[in-house]
Amino acid sequence: MSFELRIAGEADAQEIATLVNRAYRPSPQEAGWTHEADLIAGERTTAEQVLSLFHEQSTILLLCLGPKIVACVHVEGVQSGAYIGMLATNPAMQAQGLGKRMLLHAEAYATEHLKASVLNMSVLSSRPELLAFYERRGYVLTGKVEEYPLSAGVGLPIVEGIHVLSLAKTPA
């Protein structure tokens, strides 16, 4: 079986939410290297939140293996740039380069379809390994630091001092 890259539709919302929650907030026996379950309690997203991402200038890219979604990333046009978020890979398939592959697809989509001149993303301050992953791919800290978005319905911190750091990259 080979991988297929495609654009998500509303019918994919529940499967995307399940994948994102498994990647970000998995059970202990399923945890991959990118999880934040020891930092944040609760779901990372819901099918309703995923559905809200289906609008103009907003796309979710999927990587599928047969009928199953194994990775996703959200790309949204903002001003002269794009915001890349919700990058998730099935925990059982992490460390195989799928996250890098999806990030490259997201960057290409943002520059080609959204004409983005800058790529933006956010990382939790308590995730130095994830910050390093993005820095190796050319992203730099912007200096913008925000409080954890308690009202966004994306979980509750279980450790103190978690902030959201902004990163940016100018596409080649």
pLDDT tens by residue, 94-137: 888 899 999 999 999 999 999 999 999 999 998 888 899 999 99
- Taking a C-beta distance cutoff of 8 angstroms, is the pair 89, 70 a contact? yes
* pLDDT band for position 31 (cuts 50, 70, 90): low
Residue 84 pairs in a beta bridge with: 75
- What strands, in cross-sheet order, belong to the sheet with 140-147? 3-7, 58-65, 68-78, 81-89, 119-124, 163-169, 140-147
Radius of gyration of the CA atoms of the chain, in A: 15
pLDDT at 1: 63
- What is the torsional sign of CA 31, 34, 35, 39? positive
**How much is the pLDDT for 34?**
64
pLDDT above 70 covers a percentage of the chain that reads 92
Q: What is the DSSP letter of 156?
A: E
Tell me the pTM: 0.91
For the ranges 13-27, 28-42, 65-79, the lowest mean pLDDT is seen at 28-42
Find residue 60's DSSP bridge partners. Answer: 74
Average pLDDT of the chain is: 90
Amino acid at 140: V
Angle formed at CA 59 by CA 49 and CA 61, multiple of 5 degrees: 100
Name the more confident of 79 and 141. 141
Question: Domain 3-169 carries which CATH code?
Answer: 3.40.630.30
DSSP states along 24-93: HS--GGG--TT--TTTEES-S--HHHHHTT-STTEEEEEEEETTEEEEEEEEEEETTEEEEEEEEE-GGG
> What is the structure's pLDDT at 35?
64
Distance CA 86, CA 12 (A): 14
Domain ranges, ordered by start, for the chain: 3-169
